[in-house]
Amino acid sequence: MNLEKVVFAFFIVLALTLNFGFFIGDLDESSHHNIYELFAALVVSLIATIMKFGDRAHIGAVLLATSLVADLQLIAAAVVWTITVHATDAGMTPMVMASIVSLSGGALLANVTSVIILVTETVMFRR
Lowest mean pLDDT among 32-41, 57-66, 77-86: 57-66
pLDDT score of 56 more than 90: no
pLDDT at 52: 87
pLDDT at 127: 61
DSSP-assigned letters across all residues of the chain: --HHHHHHHHHHHHHHHHHHHHH-S-TT-GGGS-HHHHHHHHHHHHHHHHHHTT--SHHHHHHHHHHHHHHHHHHHHHHHHHHHHHH-SS-S-HHHHHHHHHHHHHHHHHHHHHHHHHHHHHHH---
- 71-97, pLDDT tens digit by residue? 999 999 999 999 999 998 888 999 999
Q: What percent of the chain has pLDDT over 90?
A: 75
